[in-house]
């Protein structure tokens, strides 16, 4: 036991001596969260809009007002003819053009319908799509409001977005970043620290020493469990206090699940290091084999349901996927273990499988 | 040899098509300082890995203190002090932390076995707070030796302990090994430096995975079959070429600033050689009869293999 304790203390020396890595370890979650939270966002504010309004009557003015006061749009310029639409887009600032038909109010009053055209700058298709939706939504709302007195029968769906009423992107990024960072720190750092010993030749002496393989493995893992756990707390804390992401469910359950996920990632890191012998290979393997799938195939950014079936099948073996489901469920819906026991069980299975494999693969000799 | 400390029988090992060790057998008695002398790539490290239980031999058997390197590897690891070729120190830990760590994982403490390392450790103790990465080559070597000795091993394997270390430290190091021997530890040491061979009790000259000779250094030298001359001149490169073609010469090697010339006994009158070299335009010619050293013997063995 004293041997083992000595080994763990040595690992902590390594970590604290390498303060550059330490800085990255603790700085990264904060920076990533701020980046994802503020920079990469699907919500669009203050889009530049140009309006071509040949009617200039009360209705078109009211619609224009509604759109400009929504907070999503800023008036870039008023256009006076169709020919100006092209140049307005080409200048690059305008992302949306609104064209009213002639005699708008009069036509609406007489025929019960009027023409309005929304043109989006689809050189950026996502933004264009969102802006067009915003604009048509505003117009529809307006039409409903003036129709209320005229049409007696109608169905007005009242939409409520459950668990994230404001559709905030951060609600999605906090769990995603947590899954990504914990995987990165745990898997990358352990695989590096084991392969470093192989590269330096110190592994030779560790092997010759009476330390058992399991002691070496667990000794390597413990410090990183602690570090990754601190990171998890930083992410959750920032999510709650900076971005206002709620934690509806039990915080203890949430932290326990985090530790479980950290164990999955760590055992994966050990597995990587037991099949590689250089830091470079371990790093590449961790980054390529873990980071990209974690971002792309975990449902963090891209919905799994839309993928080709072969990728969907592949997603099922991504541990981050289950962790993201678990934390979203606890944080946003306030669910307890009864709702997420299946995902939890899968993570436990992953951990056991990886550890078993690595202990089996761990070489008590050099070749 | 009765009850040898190390016994190696017919060990062979290869990496792919490269034969690192080819049917090697030898024994080392308890308390002996045994040297493995050979150039890089001769198979020294492979042999050490097998004896340190880090590598399974393809063929043959080996035992350390009566324990089989394959079956009893756990027991061997307890009585073994091993200093790998790259020193195996943690560069970001200080001198005393390295020592503390190796003491701890071998289940002992620095205080308990301080006697074992006192003499060596006292030389680096003034730097005990310094990181191992900031030590000179000689100090790293001493620290690595301390780390290998801290658990009082019965047997010590030193794989090229003097590589990359200055000449003074090398001599000091061998002095330490001589003194360690007094506490009856069996020491197996490998080195590419031929001049260190004379400091061992016995040496094995190894080349391309084969042992060419096992003997005491004095015997190795006394069995040298040729007459040996040291020849000097201003232009050593041309000198080597000119000597090569001189009649009666068996071999010529550059040795520092001089050429070592081997020939049959009594075959070379020095004055004739001097005339020949003068004709060839050499200046500051020096010719003297010398006693062979281990390197000369090694070269001779390589040629006759």
Q: Are A353 and A289 contained in the same domain?
A: yes
- CATH classification of the domain holding B253: 3.30.70.2070
Range ranked top by mean pLDDT from A134-138, A360-364, B5-9, B261-265: B5-9
* Chain B residue whose CA is closest to A365: B54
- Tell me what pLDDT residue A367 has: 60
Among B221, B253, B276, where does a domain finish?
B221
Q: Name the average pLDDT for chain A.
A: 84
How many other C-beta atoms lie within 10 A of the C-beta of residue A159? 6
- Burial class from Cβ neighbours inside 10 Å (0-12, 13-18, 19+) for residue B124 reads buried
Taking the C-alpha atoms of B202, B205, B210 and B211 in order, what is their torsion angle to the nearest 10 degrees? -30
In a domain, B293, yes or no: yes
Dihedral over Cα of A307, A313, A317, A323: its sign: positive
CA distance A95 to A134: 13
Within 13 Å, how many C-alpha atoms sit on residue A296's CB side?
11
Q: Are A119 and A249 contained in the same domain?
A: no
Q: Are B74 and B102 contained in the same domain?
A: yes
- Tell me what pLDDT residue A252 has: 92
Beta carbons of B170 and B145 less than 8 angstroms apart: no
Q: Are A318 and A281 contained in the same domain?
A: yes
Q: Are B216 and B230 contained in the same domain?
A: no
Cα-based distances in Å from A354 to A270, A274, A284, A340, B74: 8, 11, 19, 22, 26
Binning pLDDT at 50, 70 and 90, where does residue A291 land? confident
Q: Are A285 and A313 contained in the same domain?
A: yes
Q: Are A17 and A89 contained in the same domain?
A: no
In a domain, A318, yes or no: yes
Among B221, B255, B276, where does a domain finish?
B221
Structural domain count of chain A: 2
What ipTM was estimated for this complex? Answer: 0.78
- Of the partner residues B73, B84, B105, the one whose CB lies closest to the CB of residue A201: B84
Contacts of A83 (CB under 8 A, 6+ apart): none
Among B195, B221, B247, where does a domain finish?
B221
CA distance B98 to B148: 11
In a domain, A336, yes or no: yes
Q: From A79, A73, A114, A70, select the one nearest A96 (Cα to Cα).
A: A73
- Of the partner residues B90, B106, B147, the one whose CB lies closest to the CB of residue A210: B106
| Alpha carbon A164 to its chain's center | 15
Please report the residues numbered 183 through 222 in chain B whose beta carbons come closer than 8 angstroms to any beta carbon of chain A.
Answer: none
What is the domain range of residue B140? 6-221
Contacts of B223 (CB under 8 A, 6+ apart): B215, B297
Q: Which segments of A18-149 does DSSP mark as H helices, in order?
A: 19-34, 58-68, 85-91, 104-111, 125-147
Q: DSSP string of A223-286?
A: HHHHHHHHHHHHHHHHHHHTS-----S-HHHHHHHHHHHHHHHHHHHHHHHHH--SHHHHHHHH
Q: Convert the pLDDT of each residue in B150-176 to its tens digit.
A: 988 999 999 988 888 888 888 888 988
Widest CA span of chain B, in angstroms?
A: 71
Q: Are A186 and A321 contained in the same domain?
A: yes
In a domain, A209, yes or no: yes
- CATH classification of the domain holding B12: 3.40.50.300
In a domain, B1, yes or no: no
Binning pLDDT at 50, 70 and 90, where does residue B267 land? low
B107 contacts chain A (CB < 8 A) = yes
- Cβ-based contacts of A17 with chain B (< 8 Å): 92-93
Beta carbons of A296 and A321 less than 8 angstroms apart: no
Q: Name the average pLDDT for chain B.
A: 87
Residue A84 per-residue DSSP state = G
Binning pLDDT at 50, 70 and 90, where does residue B113 land? confident
Binning pLDDT at 50, 70 and 90, where does residue A155 land? low
Q: Convert the pLDDT of each residue in A130-150 to its tens digit.
A: 888 888 888 888 877 776 555
Q: From A212, A253, A213, select the one nearest A335 (Cα to Cα).
A: A253
Q: Are A174 and A132 contained in the same domain?
A: no
Q: Quick one: angle between helices B137-149 and B114-124, nearest 10? A: 170
Q: From A101, A142, A136, select the one nearest A118 (Cα to Cα).
A: A136
Q: Are B252 and B178 contained in the same domain?
A: no
CA distance A216 to A359: 10
Q: A365 and B56 in contact by Cβ < 8 A?
A: yes
How many other C-beta atoms lie within 10 A of the C-beta of residue B39? 13
Q: A210 and B52 in contact by Cβ < 8 A?
A: no
N-term to C-term CA, chain A: 28
Any idea which of A111-120, A220-229, A249-258 has the lowest mean pLDDT?
A111-120
Q: Convert the pLDDT of each residue in A106-129 to its tens digit.
A: 888 888 778 888 988 888 887 888
Q: B105 and A6 in contact by Cβ < 8 A?
A: yes
- CATH classification of the domain holding A138: 3.40.1710.10
* Chain B residue whose CA is closest to A10: B101
- Cβ-based contacts of B48 with chain A (< 8 Å): none
Beta carbons of B285 and B233 less than 8 angstroms apart: yes
B16 contacts chain A (CB < 8 A) = no
Q: B106 and A209 in contact by Cβ < 8 A?
A: yes
What is the domain range of residue A92? 47-147
Residue B200 per-residue DSSP state = S
- Of the partner residues B53, B73, B101, the one whose CB lies closest to the CB of residue A6: B101
Structural domain count of chain B: 2
- Cβ-based contacts of B55 with chain A (< 8 Å): 365-367
CA distance B284 to A104: 114
Q: What mean pLDDT comes out for the span B18-32?
A: 90
- Cβ-based contacts of A3 with chain B (< 8 Å): 104-107
Q: Convert the pLDDT of each residue in B44-78 to its tens digit.
A: 889 999 999 888 999 999 999 989 988 988 888 88
Q: Are A217 and A276 contained in the same domain?
A: yes
Q: What mean pLDDT comes out for the span B97-108?
A: 91
Q: Are B191 and B230 contained in the same domain?
A: no
């Amino acid at each position: 036991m004293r041997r083992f304790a000595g080994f763990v203390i040595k690992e902590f020396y390594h970590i604290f001596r390498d303060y550059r890595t330490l800085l990255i370890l603790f700085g990264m979650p904060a920076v990533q969260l701020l980046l994802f939270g503020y920079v990469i966002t699907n919500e669009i504010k203050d889009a530049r809009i140009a309006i071509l309004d040949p009617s200039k009557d009360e209705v078109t003015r009211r619609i224009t007002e509604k759109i400009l006061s929504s907070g999503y749009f800023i008036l870039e310029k008023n256009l006076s003819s169709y020919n100006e639409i092209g140049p307005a887009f080409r200048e690059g600032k305008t992302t949306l053009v609104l064209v009213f038909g002639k005699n708008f109010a009069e036509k609406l009053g007489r025929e019960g319908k009027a023409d309005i055209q929304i043109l989006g700058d689809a050189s950026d298709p996502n933004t264009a799509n969102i802006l067009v939706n915003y604009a048509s939504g505003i117009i529809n709302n307006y039409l409903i409001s003036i129709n209320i007195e005229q049409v007696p029968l109608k169905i007005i769906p009242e939409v409520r977005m459950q668990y994230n009423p404001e559709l905030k992107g951060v609600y999605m990024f906090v769990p995603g970043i947590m899954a990504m960072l914990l995987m990165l720190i745990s898997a990358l750092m352990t695989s590096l620290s084991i392969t470093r010993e192989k590269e330096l030749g110190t592994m030779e002496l560790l092997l010759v020493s009476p330390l058992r393989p399991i002691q070496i493995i667990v000794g390597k893992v413990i410090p990183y469990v602690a570090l990754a756990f601190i990171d998890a707390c930083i992410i959750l804390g920032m999510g709650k206090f900076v971005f206002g992401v709620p934690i509806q469910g039990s915080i203890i359950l949430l932290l326990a699940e985090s530790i479980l996920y950290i164990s999955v990632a760590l055992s994966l890191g050990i597995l990587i290091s037991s099949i590689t012998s250089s830091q470079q290979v371990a790093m590449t393997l961790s980054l390529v084999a873990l980071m990209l799938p974690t971002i792309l195939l975990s449902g963090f950014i891209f919905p799994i349901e839309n993928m080709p079936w072969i990728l969907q099948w592949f997603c099922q073996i991504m541990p981050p996927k289950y962790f993201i489901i678990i934390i979203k469920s606890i944080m946003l819906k306030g669910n307890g273990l009864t709702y997420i026991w299946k995902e939890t069980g899968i993570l436990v299975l992953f951990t056991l499988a990886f550890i078993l494999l690595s202990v089996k693969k761990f070489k008590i000799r050099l070749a | 040899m009765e009850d040898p400390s190390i016994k190696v029988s017919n060990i062979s090992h290869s990496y792919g098509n490269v034969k690192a060790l080819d049917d090697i057998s030898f024994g080392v008695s308890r308390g002996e300082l045994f040297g493995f002398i050979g150039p890089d790539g001769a198979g020294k490290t492979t042999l050490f890995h097998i004896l340190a239980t880090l590598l399974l031999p393809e063929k043959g058997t080996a035992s350390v203190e009566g324990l089989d390197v394959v079956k009893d590897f756990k027991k061997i690891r307890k009585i073994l002090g091993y200093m790998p070729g790259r020193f195996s120190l943690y560069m970001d830990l200080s001198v005393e932390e390295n020592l503390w760590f190796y003491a701890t994982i071998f289940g002992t403490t620095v205080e308990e076995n301080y006697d074992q390392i006192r003499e060596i450790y006292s030389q680096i103790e003034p730097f005990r707070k310094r990181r191992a990465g900031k030590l000179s080559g000689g100090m790293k070597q001493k620290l690595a030796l301390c780390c290998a000795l801290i658990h009082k091993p019965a047997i010590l394997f030193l794989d090229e302990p003097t590589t990359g270390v200055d000449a003074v430290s090398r001599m000091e190091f061998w002095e330490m090994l001589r003194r360690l021997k007094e506490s009856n530890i069996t020491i197996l040491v490998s080195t590419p430096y031929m001049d260190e061979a004379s400091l061992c009790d016995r040496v094995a000259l190894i080349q391309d995975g084969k042992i060419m000779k096992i003997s005491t250094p004095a015997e190795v030298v006394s069995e040298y079959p040729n007459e040996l001359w040291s020849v000097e001149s201003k232009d050593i490169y041309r000198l080597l070429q000119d000597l090569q073609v001189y009649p009666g010469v068996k071999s010529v090697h550059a040795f520092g600033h001089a050429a070592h010339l081997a020939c049959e006994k009594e075959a070379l009158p020095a004055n004739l050689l001097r005339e020949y070299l003068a004709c060839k335009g050499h200046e500051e010619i020096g010719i003297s009869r010398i006693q062979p050293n281990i390197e000369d013997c090694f070269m001779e063995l390589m040629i006759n293999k």
